[in-house]
């Protein structure tokens, strides 16, 4: 089917694997520091960014031929700001506690380099369906890293996942202690760096040449 031709499959799948925006371009790191001390807010941020990127890509792709070149960035920002506001209001209505945990970081989706990069590099030159797949793929690729980082930070730092204790009491009775460093921002960088190292080890072509 044309909807899932080679180009469209690549637009969706590549950001989930080889061309992950966090691992290759090292984008979106700030939110990885801020919202991954627990798994739940990491998942919510991942879904929020994915929804915003995918829908924003579609809107810009639909409007791309009517947007004057000299104000295209302003139009992109207006579209993104509108979508982020809607997401923020939905979270306040249905997940107020999570919205408080994420604090200003939902609003800062507007400044996410992945989002603006995909609008400028892809949506401005491609059709809506391809742009949707590209946005969804890049959002999910970004979200995948957030979830992995949040998984290890919460597990190592709190002994829980999604708020439920997973480290048995017998471990604590035997002397096990939660790693306090895991819930501090530097651990997000450390875990992300390890993931980048593994990713580039498996893909030598991504390694910088001296």
- In this predicted model, which residue has the larger pLDDT, 6 or 137? 137
Percent of the chain's residues with pLDDT above 70? 98
What mean pLDDT is predicted for residues 41-45? 89
Residues pairing with 161 in the sheet: 164
pLDDT beyond 80 at 155: yes
Confidence tier at 29 by pLDDT (50, 70, 90): confident
- Name 164's bridge partners: 161
pTM of the model: 0.89
Looking at per-residue confidence, does 43 or 105 come out higher? 43
Q: Which two tokens stand for residue 6?
A: 């080679």
Q: Indicate if the alpha-carbon torsion angle 194, 29, 38, 183 is positive or negative.
A: positive
SS (H, E, C) the chain: CHHHCHHHHHHHHHHHCCCCHHHHCCCCHHHHHHCCCCHHHHHHHHHHHHHHHHHHHHHHHHHCCCCCHHHHHHHHHHHHHHHHHHHHHHHHHHCHHHHHHHHHHCHHHHHCHHHHHHHHHCHHHCCHHHHHHHHHHHHHHHHHHHHHHHHHHHHHHHCEECCEECCCHHHHHCCCCCCHHHHCHHHHHHHHHHHHHHHHHHCHHHCCCC
Residues paired with residue 195 on neighbouring β-strands, in sequence order: none
Contacts of 190 (CB under 8 A, 6+ apart): none
User: For residue 117, what pLDDT is reported?
Assistant: 86
């Amino acid at each position: 089917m044309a909807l899932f031709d080679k180009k469209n499959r690549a637009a969706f799948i590549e950001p989930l694997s080889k061309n992950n925006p966090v691992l290759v371009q090292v984008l979106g790191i700030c939110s990885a520091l801020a919202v991954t001390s627990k798994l739940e807010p990491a998942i919510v941020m991942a879904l929020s960014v994915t929804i915003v990127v995918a829908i924003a890509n579609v809107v810009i792709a639909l409007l791309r031929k009517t947007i004057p070149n000299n104000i295209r960035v302003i139009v992109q920002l207006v579209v993104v700001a509108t979508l982020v506001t809607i997401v923020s209001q939905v979270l306040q209505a249905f997940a107020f506690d999570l919205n408080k945990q994420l604090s200003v970081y939902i609003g800062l989706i507007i400044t996410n380099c992945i989002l603006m990069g995909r609008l400028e590099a892809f949506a401005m030159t491609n059709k809506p369906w391809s742009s949707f797949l590209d946005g969804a793929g890049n959002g999910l690729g970004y979200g995948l890293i957030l979830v992995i980082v949040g998984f290890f930070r919460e597990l190592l730092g709190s002994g829980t996942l999604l708020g439920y204790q997973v480290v048995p009491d017998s471990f604590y009775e035997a002397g096990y202690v939660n790693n306090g460093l895991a819930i501090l921002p530097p651990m997000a960088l450390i875990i992300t760096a390890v993931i980048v190292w593994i990713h580039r080890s498996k893909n030598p072509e991504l390694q910088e040449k001296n």
